[in-house]
Chain A
């Protein structure tokens, strides 16, 4: 039955309904569980911090009954940060899911193809050469990331063997840009270099409603076309020919989806600095949870949100000192990638 889903485009409505129902129950259950987990984590992350607050404080603050310091800490410091973690996690998970289903490769994620190194370069150039502020840096990161991603795609070419070439070209480009980045950091004076290094680690420290509002607006704006293209994307997973046969304009759709995937990743990078490996891990974890090779886009987005909220909580509280969340995700995500590679080798 499962094999059928992958090979045959679903023209017969009955067969389709029967199969998709079976998947839908499990997907639904997983999504509900993830949403519940997300709520619990969100609530816990509102209670935790250096300033002691209990459950009742959080309830009071959320229902508008708390006053003074408690209200400020929970509503103005912790709440926007937690919401940003959710939003950016979802954006990364969604972007990763788009890439992975387009390249039909679990490793075709923006982390691997040089996006992170490119946005780092863009931000460094703005920070160190033009001493730009928060928004200028965000734009630099956006530009750098998008230009690098485009360059990697062009260099990798579009004919066959996409996975291999894309990955190797991405690694080469990243290596070159990283060398350049190290040089920029070495040339700058210490204070600015430190600031740039903090940005490069990817952190939600000090972000508030001011950053949350434009990020939310942009995320919602990007979600509309993604939702519209979700169906063609599913059909393209069956192969370009099958998609063509069912009336999808493959080239244009692929180009559009890639642009959206890059934009979603860039949104997160521009807001908080490069937060690696959520885009790679979230769709993989979602796939394992749902137990199907095609998981759609909603579950990975939800998984991404859970992962980033969890990672940010760990980065804030687990080591006694506040660490940038990007360091958390790159270390744990890298280990996960290693585990994937070792497991794949055993098979």
Chain B
């Protein structure tokens, strides 16, 4: 465990530095260092690092952790290994609300539409939860299907809004792929407080999630307040998925894959899984974003697409694996 932590931490630092250096215009390490220590607004390299790559890297850190932790929370609280805010429609709820905000109410600034995103994520999250918590507990397939249904309904209404408004369509199609590129520091600063709060709530909920894993009755017998735990979890998922979606657009599958990696490293203790998931997810989004800049160089593939192409095969493998056969 300490070894894994150290390695993941090192990886995070290395990837962050790489993320500042690589791209359509490769920049030497010394120039990156100078951009922070002796910033010269006349140097193109310095501008690229400070104005483009730094916000991008910070967004990877924030939103990677957010999407991953949201997935870990949903997996733990619904006792469902195939959960992810993207697949279950929570991101779609946030995305739908952003489309409404931009397309119908003409809010162009993220400081305004982040609130819409939070409300949308909360509604979709509650809906998923209602279905997941209905009598007898939901099977993974039922939860997944409800996610499909929620995404379908919201996507349908959303596209009717964008199809009638070419301007909104144009600005939203770049956001809808899920990307950390082309955002400034103000975007990161807007969503940072929400994501920090969400991460904190997730860490607070972790010990109680351990007890909840034993089943509702046992958890109650151990003195756990289940409804307050549920509220904490929903609040945290809303903050994380809503704010991250507002910043990057909907990115799926981080929350599906990384809790698996964390469980593989640390076993079944949520107090370890949740912080580990955060670290792993940040690394994944950073790596995906860097890979996206290199795969079709000098053009770029958005991080959301790279993650989807990694994550979907993982989902399919999980469905085929022996352990989930009985689900």
The chain A residues found within 8 Å of chain B, CB to CB, are: 107, 112, 155-157, 161, 163-165, 167-169, 171-173, 175-176, 178-180, 182-183, 185-186, 190, 193-194, 197-198, 200-201, 276-277, 321, 323-324, 326-328, 330-331, 333-335, 337-338, 341-342, 344-346
Cβ B169 vs Cβ A194 within 8 A: yes
Contact of B33 with A by CB under 8 A: no
| 11 A-B pairs (CB sep. < 8 Å) | A164-B141, A167-B144, A172-B315, A175-B87, A179-B309, A182-B176, A183-B301, A277-B152, A327-B163, A337-B149, A345-B131
Q: A168-B82, A197-B163, A342-B131 are in contact. Are A186 and B312 (CB under 8 A)?
A: no
Contact of B134 with A by CB under 8 A: yes
Residues of B within 8 A of A161 (CB): 325
Extra pairs beyond A179-B308, A338-B149, A342-B134 (10, CB < 8 Å): A107-B145, A157-B320, A163-B141, A165-B319, A168-B315, A175-B311, A175-B315, A176-B313, A186-B173, A331-B156
A163 vs B136: C-alpha distance when bound (angstroms): 20
Question: Smallest Cβ distance from A52 to chain B, in angstroms?
Answer: 25
**Interface residues of chain A: helix, strand, loop or mixed (majority):** helix
Closest chain A residue, CB of each to CB of B170:
A190
The chain B residues found within 8 Å of chain A, CB to CB, are: 82, 86-87, 127, 130-131, 134-136, 138, 140-142, 144-146, 148-150, 152-153, 155-157, 159-160, 162-164, 166, 169-170, 173-174, 176-178, 252-253, 301-302, 304-305, 308-309, 311-313, 315-316, 318-320, 325, 327
Closest chain A residue, CB of each to CB of B316:
A172
Residues of B within 8 A of A201 (CB): 159-160, 163
Residues of B within 8 A of A167 (CB): 141, 144-145
Cβ B156 vs Cβ A330 within 8 A: yes
Residues of A within 8 A of B312 (CB): 172-173, 175-176
Cβ B163 vs Cβ A324 within 8 A: yes
Question: Smallest Cβ distance from B323 to chain A, in angstroms?
Answer: 13
Question: Smallest Cβ distance from A192 to chain B, in angstroms?
Answer: 12
A294 vs B222: C-alpha distance when bound (angstroms): 48
Question: Smallest Cβ distance from B322 to chain A, in angstroms?
Answer: 11
Closest chain A residue, CB of each to CB of B147:
A171
A215 vs B16: C-alpha distance when bound (angstroms): 55
Residues of A within 8 A of B148 (CB): 112, 171, 337
Cβ A327 vs Cβ B160 within 8 A: yes
A337 vs B156: C-alpha distance when bound (angstroms): 14
Residues of B within 8 A of A331 (CB): 152-153, 156-157
A193 vs B162: C-alpha distance when bound (angstroms): 12
Question: Smallest Cβ distance from B265 to chain A, in angstroms?
Answer: 24
Cβ B308 vs Cβ A176 within 8 A: yes
| Residue among B146, B252, B311, B313 having the largest count of chain A Cβ atoms under 10 Å | B146
